[in-house]
Amino acid sequence: MDEPRPACCVGIDVSKDRLDVHLRPSDEAFAVARDGKGLENLVERLAALDVSLVVLEATGGFETTVAAALAGAGLPIAVVNPRQIRDFARALGKLAKTDAIDAKVIAIFAEKIRPQARPIASQEAQRLAELVARRRQIVEMIGMEANRRKRAADKRLGKKIDRHLAFLEKELAEVDADIDAGVRASPAWRETEDLLTSVPGIGPVTARTLIAELPELGRLDRRKLAALVGVAPFNRDSGTWRGHRIIGGGRTSVRNALYMAALVATRYNPLVKANYQRLVARGRPKKVAIIACLRQLLTILNAIVRDAKPWAVQKA
């Protein structure tokens, strides 16, 4: 009688037309096309194994269909930041880079690091996240064009930039309308937005960024959530030397939105304002105090979504 195969970890390198797959600890490797037939073949092969974790890199959207197909088959999926894989590869001394090597490194990463498997967002959630990301891109383009307009001495060039700015403003209004319609069409999202915007300092843009890009809000404890966003302080100590604590990594877009919200909250949210003033009075640099207030604000938002109680009830 054949002995059962041990649980395996799977690493998948996703490219535009092909999926390179590597299994650990067997070191079996194969490739399939990134199309319907290839995904069916991949799901069939992995379904026959005792898979404990499948890891893919976030590759600009190419991984979405793959992750959805695997999650639909009941396989545990983790989509990780490519930078984590690159840093891990350097630590292993893997400087060569091919699709097959990348798949092996991802499989070893899955085996050794064991990132937490997370559910795949629904199509509606993915669409909302894309709209929020697009809104952020348009706002950045408007800022860049506005700066160029200030420096444009040529009148004809200035008029061209003005036309482009008008176009971008129209696009921004349309994206905002699409986001608003998406949120208002979902009772759960509408309720979450109302809960979040009940907190002084949180406006619709921040609330919708959190809904789209931080679905874990209200489901994790405050320390895990802070690490996920990238606002958990890391030690920088060596021997007798003690360095400043730093933050980094995480979801940059969420952290940026919360940073602006924290700035507003230090003026208009009584709890955050009191904390900010206390930290500054104790000699903390203002930016350090703002990051501490950001963590406090994130903790408040997490509790409000978890308990489904708006700000007024929480404060009482």
Which DSSP string corresponds to 245-278? PB---S-HHHHHHHHHHHHHHHHH-HHHHHHHHH
Q: Which of 69, 94, 113 corresponds to the end of one domain? A: 113
Give the tens place of pLDDT for each residue, 113-154: 998 887 777 778 888 988 998 999 999 999 999 999 999 999
Per-residue confidence at 170, pLDDT binned at 50, 70, 90?
very high
Q: What's residue 125's pLDDT? A: 83
Q: Is the pLDDT of residue 274 over 90?
A: yes
Q: What's residue 241's pLDDT? A: 47
Q: What's residue 316's pLDDT? A: 37
How many domains is the chain partitioned into structurally?
Answer: 2
Q: From the CA atom positions of the chain, what is the Rg in Å?
A: 23
Query: What are the tokens at 68?
Result: 């959805």
Alpha carbons 38 and 193: distance in angstroms, whole number: 39
Q: Which of 85, 113, 141 corresponds to the end of one domain? A: 113
The type of residue at 161 is I
Residue 228 included in any domain = yes
Mean pLDDT of the region 297-314: 88
Are 254 and 261 contacting, i.e. CB atoms less than 8 angstroms apart? no
Residue 254 included in any domain = yes
Whole-angstrom CA distances from 115 to 55, 97, 109, 219, 228 are 8, 22, 8, 17, 12
Query: What are the tokens at 46?
Result: 């992995």
Is the model more confident about 126 or about 33?
Answer: 33
On the 0-12 / 13-18 / 19+ scale of CB atoms within 10 A, 253 is middle
Q: What's residue 235's pLDDT? A: 55
Residue 307 included in any domain = yes
Query: Which residues neighbour 172 within 8 Å (Cβ) at sequence distance 6 or greater?
Result: 135, 138, 139, 142
Which SS3 state, helix, strand or coil, does residue 60 take?
Answer: coil
Q: What's residue 246's pLDDT? A: 60
Residue 100 included in any domain = yes
- Residue 20 backbone dihedrals phi, psi, to 5 degrees: -95, 130
For residue 62, what is the domain's CATH number? 3.30.420.40
Give the tens place of pLDDT for each residue, 207-245: 999 998 898 899 888 888 888 888 877 555 555 545 555
Per-residue confidence at 6, pLDDT binned at 50, 70, 90?
low
Query: What are the tokens at 177?
Result: 């309308």
Residue 158 included in any domain = no
Residue 261 included in any domain = yes
Report which secondary-structure segment, H or E, holds 205: helix 204-213
Give the tens place of pLDDT for each residue, 54-66: 999 887 778 888 8
Q: Which of 69, 90, 113 corresponds to the end of one domain? A: 113
What residues make up the domain containing 280?
213-316
Residue 239 included in any domain = yes
Are 216 and 225 contacting, i.e. CB atoms less than 8 angstroms apart? yes
Residue 312 included in any domain = yes
Are 244 and 272 contacting, i.e. CB atoms less than 8 angstroms apart? no
Q: Is the pLDDT of residue 4 over 60?
A: no
Whole-angstrom CA distances from 190 to 124, 196, 197, 237 are 14, 10, 11, 45
Per-residue confidence at 313, pLDDT binned at 50, 70, 90?
very low
Q: What is the mean pLDDT of the chain?
A: 87
